[in-house]
């Protein structure tokens, strides 16, 4: 856990100094820093423990999630291979493929979500005109025609360079059904499943590594107790691996809902070694499940409440990790946060079951602080999947017929992808606070890493929408010099990209940092995300 010092004084900061000459302010900032003085009466202090950097930030922390829900798949990712209007590759939009490649999506979870435990994978392979339909009972009762299935998803993952993560049906499926899915996608030897795959046009297997054994077994996946699901999991997991041929896949158990620490305790205590590789955790930053509030035109109080929920991820990860450490001190098993993000009311005029919401600078703040938490806990958190990829919840892409927009969340994840597979640099943080009414939150969030080329990246978030804050970063180790910097910000926390203004919010070059004697001084504008490069 990052230590936070509470003995900071409140006072006026640079943002409260009214001066329209922004360029002059930048020059003054540099001069004051270089002279050893400061325009700020308070600042956050960060210490980078470079010598202690040893744990790799698994690239899969930057994973995503796509469910058969609303317009995530149909009219989102997938427009059908007969579309003459939208350029596509076997039905998947080319513009989305290009955007996801730029994002460097490492892993993608599919087909759910709640949908996974009603989905029978055999209905989604073979000639599309012969595939049976089903009713999507969880998300609006719409008819699912199964035109987007296993081949479509796995081939798309190959195109974008992502590892697929298949969520298996435990709630309404069978052990045989899931074990045959593993054989279908991974089987090398001659077998009924490998022969069927070949007859459907895929000669070589995809070698899928990641499999979820059910989804939210405590809720839509079966309303099971932890003890009951644990026994079910053991049965399914036993038949998912080809023990004779060393086909060791990565099985993820359906894990806890937020702070259900008992669930994690049971899974860690009662699943035998060799049957489990990861335990999941689901948590959404929701103000109130009965009154989530608007996605775009929210109040300052609602923004504060969302940030409070987002920062709670630190507590949840810390406590679940402590339980896992008790049973697995060598940290062989992964904590997989395979659903996370902001959840608000749907946009006016849209189906309440389709979960379509706008994506604002509030979501950029949420993404930045959450990813910093995951980076700092990368010794145990080795995969996370933002919910969801397109047109659902905290999406990175929104579509409207031929148009797409990249959201503020997309841009944060693109800025942060420099951390993928880099070595995490531990940080100590003495924080300052963002106050709303009688409540306060830590204003600054930070994580850092060093990549294989020796380049250090520091990602910072200032969640305070009303103050520019100074962050002093002290660097242990060799003298470094400041490289480039990038910032994501906008005038209002409610600002967002729209189909009329698709590039209203874009990463920009950042010049509000100065380094001297291995101390980096960063002037963080209100509600901003900054990523700095140190050489």
Instruction: Return the pLDDT at 1.
Output: 38
Non-local CB neighbours of 423 within 8 Å, separated by 6+ positions:
53, 54, 55, 56, 57, 449, 450, 451
Q: What is the mean pLDDT of residues 323-347?
A: 98
Q: Using alpha carbons, list the distances in angstroms from residue 89 to 95, 336, 341.
A: 10, 31, 29
Helices in 118-260 by DSSP H: which ranges? 150-160, 175-186, 192-199, 226-238
Residue 412 has pLDDT above 50, yes or no: yes
- Please list the residue range(s) of the chain that carry CATH number 3.20.20.80: 58-419
pTM above 0.95, yes or no: no
User: Which overall architecture, per CATH, does domain 14-54+425-534 show?
Assistant: Sandwich (2.60)
Non-local CB neighbours of 154 within 8 Å, separated by 6+ positions:
164, 185, 206, 208
Residue 369: name the closest of 409, 329, 400 by CA. Answer: 409
Report the CATH superfamily, name and number, of domain 58-419: Glycosidases (3.20.20.80)
Instruction: Return the pLDDT at 384.
Output: 98
Residue 306: name the closest of 259, 356, 258, 362 by CA. Answer: 362
- Active-site residues, by number, are 216, 339
Q: Which DSSP string corresponds to 413-448? A: HHHHGGGTTPEEPPEEEE--EEEETTEEEE-EEEEE
How far is Cα 514 from Cα 482, in angstroms, rounded to an integer?
Answer: 7
Q: What is the mean pLDDT of residues 181-208?
A: 95
Summarised one tens digit per residue, pLDDT across range 93-143 is 999 999 999 999 999 999 999 999 999 999 999 999 999 999 999 999 999
How far is Cα 132 from Cα 357, in angstroms, rounded to an integer?
Answer: 31
> Any idea of the CA torsion for 400, 401, 406, 410, to the nearest 10 degrees?
90
Determine what percent of the chain is predicted with pLDDT higher than 90: 88
pLDDT band, residue 21 (cuts 50/70/90): very low
- Of the given ranges (176-185, 238-247, 495-504), which has the lowest mean pLDDT? 238-247
Instruction: Return the pLDDT at 82.
Output: 76
Summarised one tens digit per residue, pLDDT across range 422-458 is 999 999 999 999 999 999 999 999 999 999 999 999 9
Determine what percent of the chain is predicted with pLDDT higher than 70: 91
Chain centroid to Cα 528, Å, comes to 18
Q: Is there a contact between 62 and 104 (Cβ–Cβ < 8 Å)?
A: yes
pLDDT band, residue 515 (cuts 50/70/90): very high
Q: What is the mean pLDDT of residues 392-410?
A: 97
Tokens of 345: 């009311």
Helices in 286-360 by DSSP H: which ranges? 300-327
For tokens 């100074």, what's the residue?
Answer: 470
Non-local CB neighbours of 251 within 8 Å, separated by 6+ positions:
211, 212, 213, 237, 240, 241, 275, 276, 277, 278
Q: For residue 275, how many other CB atoms are within 10 A of its CB? A: 17
Residue 13 has pLDDT above 90, yes or no: no
Q: Is 315 helix (H, G, I), strand (E, B) or coil?
A: helix
Instruction: Return the pLDDT at 60.
Output: 98
Instruction: Return the pLDDT at 50.
Output: 94
Residue 24 has pLDDT above 80, yes or no: no
- Please list the residue range(s) of the chain that carry CATH number 2.60.40.1180: 14-54+425-534
Q: For residue 294, how many other CB atoms are within 10 A of its CB? A: 17
Residue 465 has pLDDT above 80, yes or no: yes
Residue 20 has pLDDT above 60, yes or no: no
pLDDT band, residue 5 (cuts 50/70/90): very low
C-alpha triplet 383, 276, 170: angle, nearest 5°: 90
Summarised one tens digit per residue, pLDDT across range 283-296 is 999 999 999 999 99
Q: Using alpha carbons, list the distances in angstroms from residue 23 to 4, 17, 158, 161, 306.
A: 33, 14, 46, 42, 34
For residue 516, which phi and psi values (nearest 5 degrees)?
-150, 125
Q: What is the mean pLDDT of residues 452-480?
A: 95
Summarised one tens digit per residue, pLDDT across range 46-85 is 999 999 999 999 999 999 999 999 999 999 999 987 778 9
Helices in 254-299 by DSSP H: which ranges? 261-270
Instruction: Return the pLDDT at 243.
Output: 60
Q: Using alpha carbons, list the distances in angstroms from residue 460 to 132, 457, 482.
A: 49, 10, 15
272, containing H or E segment: none
HSE-up (13 A, CA, CB side) for residue 152 = 27
25, containing H or E segment: helix 22-34
Long-range contacts of 19-27 (CB under 8 A, 24+ apart): 26/511, 26/512
Instruction: Return the pLDDT at 248.
Output: 80
Tokens of 284: 């959404």
């Amino acid at each position: 856990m990052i230590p936070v010092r509470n003995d900071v004084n409140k006072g006026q900061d640079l943002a409260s100094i009214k001066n329209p000459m922004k360029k002059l302010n930048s020059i003054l900032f540099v001069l004051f820093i270089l002279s050893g003085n400061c325009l700020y009466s308070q600042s956050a202090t960060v210490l980078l423990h470079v010598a202690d950097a040893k744990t790799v930030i698994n690239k899969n922390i930057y994973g995503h999630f796509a469910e058969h829900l609303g317009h995530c798949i149909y009219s989102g990712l997938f427009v059908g291979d007969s579309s003459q209007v939208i350029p596509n590759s076997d039905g998947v939009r080319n513009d989305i493929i290009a955007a996801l490649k730029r994002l460097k999506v490492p892993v993608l979870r599919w087909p759910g979500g709640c949908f996974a435990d009603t989905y029978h994978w055999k209905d989604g392979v073979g000639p599309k005109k012969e595939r049976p339909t089903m009713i999507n009972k969880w998300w609006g009762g719409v008819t699912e025609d199964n035109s987007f299935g296993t081949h479509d998803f796995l081939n798309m993952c190959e195109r974008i360079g992502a590892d697929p993560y298949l969520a298996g049906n435990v709630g309404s499926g069978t052990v045989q059904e899931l074990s045959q899915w593993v054989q279908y996608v991974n089987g090398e030897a001659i077998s009924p499943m490998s022969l069927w795959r070949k007859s459907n046009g895929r000669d070589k297997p995809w070698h899928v590594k990641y499999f979820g054994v059910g989804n939210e077994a405590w809720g839509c996946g079966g309303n099971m107790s932890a003890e009951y699901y644990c026994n079910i999991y053991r049965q399914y997991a036993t038949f998912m691996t080809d023990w004779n041929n060393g086909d060791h896949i990565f099985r993820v158990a359906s894990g806890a809902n937020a702070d259900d620490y008992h669930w994690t305790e049971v899974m860690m205590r009662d699943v035998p070694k060799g049957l489990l590789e990861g335990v999941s955790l689901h948590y959404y930053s929701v103000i109130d499940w009965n009154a989530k509030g608007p996605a775009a035109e929210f109040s300052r109080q609602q923004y504060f409440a969302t940030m409070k929920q987002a920062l709670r991820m630190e507590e949840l990860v810390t406590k679940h990790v402590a339980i896992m450490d008790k049973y697995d001190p060598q940290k062989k098993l992964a904590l997989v946060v395979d659903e996370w993000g902001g959840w608000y009311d749907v946009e006016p005029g849209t189906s309440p079951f389709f979960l379509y919401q706008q994506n604002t600078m509030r979501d950029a703040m949420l993404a930045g602080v959450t990813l910093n938490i995951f980076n700092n806990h990368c010794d145990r958190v080795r995969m996370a999947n933002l919910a969801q990829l397109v047109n659902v919840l905290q999406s990175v892409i929104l579509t409207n017929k031929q148009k797409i927009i990249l959201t503020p969340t997309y841009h944060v994840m693109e800025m942060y992808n420099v951390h993928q597979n880099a070595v995490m640099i531990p940080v100590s943080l003495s924080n300052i606070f963002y106050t709303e009414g009688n409540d306060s939150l830590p204003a600054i969030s930070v994580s850092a890493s060093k990549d294989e080329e020796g380049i250090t990246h520091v990602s910072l978030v200032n969640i305070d929408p009303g103050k520019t804050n100074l962050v002093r970063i002290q660097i242990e180790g060799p003298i470094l010099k400041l490289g480039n910097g990038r910032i994501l910000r906008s005038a209002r926390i409610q600002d967002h990209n729209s189909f009329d203004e698709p590039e209203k919010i874009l990463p920009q070059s950042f010049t509000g940092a100065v380094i001297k004697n291995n101390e980096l001084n960063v002037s963080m504008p209100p509600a901003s995300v900054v990523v700095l490069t140190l050489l």
